[in-house]
Structure 1
Amino acid sequence: MTRRKKIVIGALLVALVVGGFLAWRVHERRAAVQAAADAYIFAMPLVLTDVTREETFKHPAAVNAEPNRMYNIPILADATFRTVIRPNVDTLYSIAWLSLANEPMVLSMPASNGRYNGVQLMDAWTNVFAAPGIRTLGNEAKQFLIVGPDYKGAVPAGMEKLVSPTNMVWAIARIHARDEADLSDAQRFQYRIDLRPLSKLGDTGFGPIFPDPRGRGAKRTEPMEIVKRMSAETFYKRFIALAQANPPAAADAPFVKNVLAPLGLDPANPTPWDALPEARRADLQRGIDAVWSVLTERAAVEKTRTPSGWAGFEAVDKIGNYGTNYKVRAGVAAFGLAANLPEDAIYLNATVDGKGQDLLGGKPYRMRFAPGELPPVKGFWSVTLYDREGYLIDHPLRRYAIRQFDKLHYAPDGSLEILIQPNDPGPERRANWLPSPASGKFALSLRAYWPEEKLLRKQWSPPPVLPLATP
């Protein structure tokens, strides 16, 4: 072999080795960022839950709220309500943030007497571990002892024990109010849902806290925006502290071992942030950026839509109790934190019409439910309109939704047509009118409380929102 051939072959071998090494390094870097993204998807709901808790107590209306005590909101949301995005206008809310490390809590549920109600109990990772209410209790009154994972004490006679997987618990009660005339009865029922520490049982001076009216119109900082702005260092330091206080479930052990531990993020044995290699810290930040680029991508949302333009069906059979489906858990947290179990409520959303075009203020639309095709529910349904930020839109009629128990006008064949437009359609059609803004994009949410099997099995979907020709 000549010297020239040896040089050429040597050069080729070097090129192959270097090229292969670089390809391996690229693959290695991609794998590192993917692992970082997976870690963030796993961790984000826990951090978001805690930020939501923190922001609840910061809100001016909740100045008197405190942990382990019910915070009753005895009003239906209207356009001045800015505490949370996409509020429903169907139910009264009560919320409580529980810490079970020191003692259990007692939840007393009154007999429903046919009124839709439910108390959603979520662990720190957003899993619903219990949901006492009309669906599970019927007309039975019952007391529950809510305990943390390490509780070894006795259960008082007549109480049912509910074990939370974590010591942090978020409780949300929803009580249906049919309309303003029904509001006072709904408020009385709300007050009878009692939640208190075991040590306060029988204390007549202990009761719920109510909002400070001076803070009613205050707009809070969205917890999700706070989480999105966190650096990798801030985020993971908070995650480690929270996960140590609220450990991952036993089913998460393989993920912790295979993904978190190699990154130095095992809550039981974390590597201090400053001790992580600089490349690792950079990858963790890239993983966060990669997750948000997907979560905020319009195409990702469009993939979940039905042909009629409604999104939300993809998660119908997955929300509320996620197991090891970390991607769904993170996605639901990002777009609908505190989602109910599907057996209690299903939420569907539309930002486009039946032709895939943005819903726009100033344009008239209609939504027609064919005979026998109203939302199949045992509870009730509603269609609510929001601006693109998720807030209700002010209107002189103060109508923010079309609801099942409104005095609606049905056609002789039983069909129902909802008119969605800024202009009053006149007295004959006003009952079915959902006012929309004069300009800007808007969104619709269809809520189905206590859905029937037909909806749970995805055998029903809402009709498209169709644009109407303008005169």
Structure 2
Amino acid sequence: MSPRRQHLRILTTAIALGLAAMAAGGVQASAATPAYQEGYDLGLEAWKYGLPLVKMDQTFRIQTSVDVPDGRGRGPVNRFSHVRVLANASAHDVVAPNNDTPYSIAWLNLSHQPIVIHVPKVNRYFVIPLYDPYTEDFHNLGSVQRTEPGDYAVVGPGQGRVKLPKDVHRIKSRYDRVWIIGRTLNYGSADLGNTRKIQNRYRITPLSRYGTGFRPKPPGNPDTTPEGVPMPSGLAFFDKLGYLLRRFPPPAADSAKLQELAQIGVGPGKRPSTDSALSAETKQGMIDAVAAGPGVLQTAVTVRYVTEAPKHNGWLVLPTGRYGTDYDYRALVTQVGLGALTPSEAIYPVGQTDKTLVPLNGSKDYVVHFEPGQLPPVDAFWSLTLYDSSGYFVPNPIDRYAIGDRSDLNLNPDGSLDIYVQSTEPSGPAKAKNWLPSPTGAAFRLTMRLYEPTRAQIPGILDGSGWDPPAITAVP
């Protein structure tokens, strides 16, 4: 048996044993009563279904808990809060931030009126994506879409007959809360001034103030301290989910899933914590399901990795941004990359193991080797970013969190490229240019970003029949 197949079998067996142990643990925790098991099993389904909605609400409450834009992506509703620098190791507001584009973040409140977004003329890659409360990227403004400079009104539910000024384009939103996490390409620290000038030209205006030169007045006593908003645990998670499902009615396609979850009192407006029809055993199963959820998702990530990564040289390559009724996958992306774009904007290959399927660890050195002519096929840019096991940047002595086509890379004489992923600086200035620092002795993962992948290549990148990221090779 080849080493690759041997590791695959070992890893698959380990996953199977882990799942069996989790299932057995769930049953044993309450003497295997049917009521407990129903609460646990359906509770897990409800937790995965509801995680994106609850996580988005938590993010909304944290980011809008200040009343002036703070330059770190937090600010009041209907205002852009531009992040003026590239994300670094202190960035923990969202998992898997990029180190390529300063963010322009806003939360739109459409409950009173449409909100107008002004898109300026931009001579580089940019995207202003619109996300609904379920994490669906339902509309993108930007360079990939060839968005013309101008004004775009985001129109909420019940506002279909609102008349818009001439030349203002209409974008329909199913919900009255929309998240924007805009990206503007940056070419390095010397280019930040240019990027900020572009950010300054993005504008948000309530429709009633459109054409008046509206500029929000700053508060007299600004509150710049963000609130800590923990994720609800236990039955409080399902109570919060019930509130949010009523606040943001789910699409009709979710009706079958909601009918299933109603068996344990989960649904729009429902509060399982006070539901007298649920037994104590059922409620305990639900409580345990919320506690087990993150581990179950991590196992799901590993299962997907084992089944899909061999098609892509050991990388997990899956479409993001729109999920339909694939609730498990939607939850998975929420956990590892909230705010991911659709494939026409970006594809995110994820590497968690070397080419023999051994998990990546900073105790080893690795090389990512691109053959001549095999750099990522993109029309905008590409990068390779390193994260710790929780999805955040790793502090390092050179403050380098990503490396890519805008880096001062050293190519080999034949045009190939070697990127050195290791915890200590490689010997020689040429290799040091291509160094991506890893954590000393700790697990990590890599994410490659392909922004505006060449359109004709997208299907092959996703299904493994076209370009693939190069294998991650451990140095002997």
TM-score relative to the length of structure 2: 0.81
1:105 deviation in Å? 0.6
Between the aligned partners of 1:208 and 1:347, the Cα distance in structure 2 is 39
Relative to structure 2, which stretch is displaced further, 432-441 or 70-79? 432-441
Contact 1:376 1:455 in 2 (8 A): no
Matched, 1:121 2:121: no
Contact 1:109 1:192 in 2 (8 A): yes
Contact 1:345 1:448 in 2 (8 A): yes
Q: Which runs of 5+ in 2 are unaligned?
A: 1-31
Pair 1:125–1:383, CA change in 2 (3 A): same
- Once the two structures are superposed, residues 410-452 of structure 1 have per-residue CA deviations (whole angstroms, 9 ceiling, x without a partner) of 2233211112231242123332222334443332211111122
Q: Say how many residue pairs are matched.
A: 428
Contact 2:245 2:267 in 1 (8 A): no
**Residue number among 303, 312, 315 corresponding to 2:316 in the alignment:** 312
- Once the two structures are superposed, residues 184-239 of structure 1 have per-residue CA deviations (whole angstroms, 9 ceiling, x without a partner) of 11111111121222123235452699xxxx989x9x96x7xx43x6112x112211
- Letter of the 2:233 counterpart: M
Structure 2 partner of 1:267: 268
Pair 1:173–1:291, CA change in 2 (3 A): same
- Once the two structures are superposed, residues 247-275 of structure 1 have per-residue CA deviations (whole angstroms, 9 ceiling, x without a partner) of 1112223333x213333333167778243
Matched, 1:356 2:357: yes
**Residue number among 229, 234, 244 corresponding to 1:231 in the alignment:** 234
Between the aligned partners of 2:74 and 2:452, the Cα distance in structure 1 is 33
1:38 deviation in Å? 2.3
Pair 1:191–1:406, CA change in 2 (3 A): same
Pair 1:80–1:294, CA change in 2 (3 A): closer
Structure 1 partner of 2:23: none
Contact 1:146 1:162 in 2 (8 A): yes
Structure 2 partner of 1:13: none
Between the aligned partners of 2:467 and 2:117, the Cα distance in structure 1 is 35
Structure 2 partner of 1:153: 162
Contact 1:345 1:447 in 2 (8 A): yes
For 1:348-387, list aligned pairs within 5 A. 348-387=349-388
1:116 deviation in Å? 0.6
Pair 1:311–1:231, CA change in 2 (3 A): farther
Structure 2 partner of 1:455: 461
Between the aligned partners of 2:276 and 2:431, the Cα distance in structure 1 is 68
- Once the two structures are superposed, residues 342-392 of structure 1 have per-residue CA deviations (whole angstroms, 9 ceiling, x without a partner) of 211111222322222332325322110112221111211001123333333
Structure 1 partner of 2:190: 181
SS of residue in 1 equivalent to 2:428: coil
Contact 1:165 1:249 in 2 (8 A): no
Contact 2:386 2:438 in 1 (8 A): yes
Structure 1 partner of 2:19: none
Between the aligned partners of 2:391 and 2:198, the Cα distance in structure 1 is 28
Contact 2:239 2:271 in 1 (8 A): no
Relative to structure 2, which stretch is displaced further, 374-383 or 395-404? 395-404
SS of residue in 2 equivalent to 1:119: strand
Pair 1:393–1:26, CA change in 2 (3 A): closer
Between the aligned partners of 1:286 and 1:360, the Cα distance in structure 2 is 31
Identical aligned residues as a percent: 32
Matched, 1:252 2:259: no
- Letter of the 2:86 counterpart: L
Between the aligned partners of 1:383 and 1:84, the Cα distance in structure 2 is 18
- Letter of the 1:247 counterpart: P
Between the aligned partners of 2:354 and 2:224, the Cα distance in structure 1 is 36
- Letter of the 2:245 counterpart: A
Structure 2 partner of 1:109: 119
- Letter of the 2:421 counterpart: I
Matched, 1:321 2:290: no
Between the aligned partners of 1:160 and 1:304, the Cα distance in structure 2 is 44
SS of residue in 1 equivalent to 2:430: coil
Contact 1:69 1:208 in 2 (8 A): no
TM-score relative to the length of structure 1: 0.82
1:107 deviation in Å? 0.8
Contact 1:71 1:208 in 2 (8 A): no
Contact 1:354 1:464 in 2 (8 A): yes
Q: CA RMSD in A?
A: 3.0
Pair 1:426–1:412, CA change in 2 (3 A): closer
Matched, 1:71 2:71: no
Pair 1:311–1:305, CA change in 2 (3 A): farther
Structure 1 partner of 2:44: 37
**Residue number among 55, 64, 69 corresponding to 1:48 in the alignment:** 55
